[in-house]
Amino acid sequence: MVVGMNCCNDMGNCTQGRDCPVRKQRAKEADDAYMSGGWGKVADPYNDITDTFKALIAVIAVTASLTLLAFILWGK
């Protein structure tokens, strides 16, 4: 069986299994990106928590303001 330079089908999937040179190159690129941190940094969870808490306080303030406004307008 003669194998051409391209061992991938039209969808870009390898047809030769683990021995495909394209698959090996993609795996090497993914490994290099992972090892060098090229996939992005993990965000600090403390910042996420504080931002979520600030948004929660804003939602509570708006809801309370609208409730007070409704009570003032319609009186109960």
Q: Could you report the per-residue pLDDT of 9-18, keeping only the tens digit for each?
A: 777 676 776 6
Q: What is the pLDDT of residue 26?
A: 76
Only one residue has tokens 């969870």, namely 45
Only one residue has tokens 């190159």, namely 25
More confident residue, 42 or 66: 66
Reported pTM: 0.43
Are residues 7 and 21 in contact, defined by beta-carbon separation less than 8 angstroms?
A: yes
How do the domains of the chain map onto residue ranges? 7-41, 42-76
Neighbour tally for 32: CB within 10 Å: 10
3 CB contacts (<8 Å, ≥6 apart)?
16
DSSP single-letter state for residue 15:
S
